Structures are given as structure tokens and as C-alpha cells.
Amino acid sequence: MTIMRLRAAVIAVAASVGFAAPHALHAQSYPARTVTLIVPSAAGGGTDTIARLIGDQLAKQLGQAFTVENRTGGGMLVGTTAAAKAAPDGYTLLVGLTGNMSVNPSLFAKLPYDPLADFTPVAMLANYPFLVVVNNDLPAKSIKELIALLKSRPGQIDYASAGNGTGQHLAPELFKMMTGTEMGHVPYRGAQPAYQDVISGRVPVFFDNMSTAMSLAKSGKVRALAVTSKQRSALMPELPTVDEAGVPGYEYYTWFGLWAPKGTPQPIVEKLYAEVRTALVDPTLTQRIADTAGEPSHMAREHIEPFVRAEIVKWAEVVKRAGIKVE
């Protein structure tokens, strides 16, 4: 090799190292300060809970604080939009979920963010199944009996929800679509007032978060028929899934994940993914998630975007066929 060619080769190598080094070095020192986890809902809810659990564990692993910032309002639009517009440096992340990342595109005609174009998936965190519960006096002790009852009295039996467009609204609408049954929808401002009418029998059917429904079922205030996940829950292993109880292919759970603003350096995203994977096999964190009726998610990062795309299509059909609207 001539001296000129050798010099050109050295310059080329130096240039490539120079371009790659800043991101690589930045990832090595990341995080150098507090990381903010934006939660697009109020403190105390499911999203807030999983954000604080994962944030505490990441802080232990990485030696920097991960603080939760609750940015509420507009059906999770406020917090999600703020995260989408944040600096793509790894110091502002979004805790996203079924609602804001896969349902909102169908509920809002002009969504101020794009869950696919404005974000880079970091890692899935946890899945939370629902229980199908009914009033104790309803003559249905299984999913098959519930379907038979609904078909014998089309439109005469109501189900409760925690509000339009919530999981408690979507899960039974998917059930109706897949079983060819009819139920009226009675929305409430949250699960607590809904349970008052479910327990009294005024609105006898409710699809709700397992964390709340399980305690009421075990105390005998409502009757649990099935769990909505694909597999039985270790918390109530005696309960069948809706799928095995008579609705093949039915599945509903609220999923939670971590997203970064689009443009966040790939080495930082990969570092966060690796740290989350480590966190989700930590026995203490695993138990704390189980205590809230959840299951850690071990979905590979490359599968997250295709999964969300499929979820958007799935819920778009449910929203359209059910005529779901938000005020």
C-alpha cells in the first residue's frame, strides 16, 4: 500500500470513529442525571404504579433517580404529546399503555401525536389481565351460561364500565363481537361507582382489572367467571380463561411499556432495554408486580412496534363497530 493510500485509510477510519464515538460515549455515561418518566394519567392508578415500580428498580441498577411526572388530561393526550415533543436524549421517557398507544388513534380524529412515528419503543413492562365478574344473583355461573343468557335476552342485560373508551368498555365490546351477543353499556366515572351497581344488581356484568375485581370476588361480593388473559392466572388458577371457557381466541389485557421520543440515540435505547430486561427478572420486582395482579412482559424489543401496529388495527375495528366516541 502506498503512503497516500495508507493515509487515506487512516483518515477514513478516524472519521468513522469520530462520528460513532459521541453516541457510544454518551451511552456509556448514561444516565448522568435524573430521568423523567412521564405518566399520562393520575397518581395512584395502574400506569402510575408500574412506572414507580420500574423507576425504583432502574434507579437501583443505574445509580440515578428515575422520577415519575404525572401529566394528566385529555384522555392521556396531554402527557403523551409532551413526551413526544421532549428532547430525544434519553432523559424523558413515556410510560405508554394500551389506551394511549393503540386505542387513541381510533378514538380521536385529530391525534396530536403518532404512537409509531413520534416514538421509539424501549421495552414492554407488564401485562394486567381483567376478570369477568357478575352480580351474585345473575343466573350465569360460567362464560357459556352468560352467553346463553345474553342470547336469550338480547339487549336486556347491561354491563358497566369506568367510562367511554376505557378497558372496561373495550373488553366487553370485543366479547360481544366475538360471541354475537348484545348488552347495553352503562358508563360510570371510575370503577368504584360501577361496582356499587354491579353488587346491587342494577348493572350485573363488569369486565374489570384483576387487581380490584379479585378482592371483591374472593370476598363474595361478586362472582368471577373467567380471566381475560390467554393463560390462567397464578393468582386465581381455578378460574378458566374466557378463551377456554367458550370464546376461542378471546384475549384482553392492559399492557404497559416504555417509549422514548423518536431520535433518541440507539445506544441509549439499547442500554435502557437491557436494564429493563434485567429489572424484570429481579425477584423483588417480579413479586411486587404480582402483588398488583400483573405479569412481567418479556417481549423482545424488535417485536414491540409490529405488536402495537396490530393492536391499533384490532381496536380500530372494535371502536368502529361499537360506535365508541369520547366527549
What angle (nearest 5°) sits at the alpha carbon of residue 278, between those of residues 275 and 280?
110
CA-based nearest residue to 261, from 80, 103, 105, 71: 80
CB–CB of 82/71 below 8 Å? yes
Pairwise CA distance, residues 151 & 70, whole Å: 43
Pairwise CA distance, residues 179 & 239, whole Å: 20
What are 283's three cell numbers? 425477584
Amino acid making up residue 275: E
HSE-CB for 128 with a 13 A CA cutoff: 29
Q: What are φ and ψ of residue 222, in 5° steps?
A: -140, 165
Q: What is the pLDDT of residue 5?
A: 53
Using DSSP's 3-state secondary structure scheme, residue 37 falls into strand
Q: Which residues of the chain have pLDDT under 50?
A: 1, 3, 6, 9-18, 20
pTM above 0.85, yes or no: yes
Q: What are φ and ψ of residue 190, in 5° steps?
A: 110, 170
CB–CB of 47/40 below 8 Å? yes
What the chain holds in terms of domains, given with CATH numbers, is 32-128+253-322 (3.40.190.150), 129-227 (3.40.190.10)
Q: What is the pLDDT of residue 219?
A: 97
Q: What is the pLDDT of residue 181?
A: 98
Pairwise CA distance, residues 93 & 204, whole Å: 40
Alpha-carbon torsion 268, 271, 273, 279, what sign?
negative
Cis preceding-peptide flag for 31 (omega within 30 of 0): yes
Q: What is the pLDDT of residue 26?
A: 66
Q: What is the pLDDT of residue 2?
A: 53
Using DSSP's 3-state secondary structure scheme, residue 274 falls into helix
Pairing of strands 35-39, 119-134: unpaired
Q: What is the pLDDT of residue 1?
A: 45
Q: What is the pLDDT of residue 18?
A: 47
Q: What is the pLDDT of residue 142?
A: 98
Q: What is the pLDDT of residue 22?
A: 55
Distance of CA 69 to the CA centre of its chain: 17
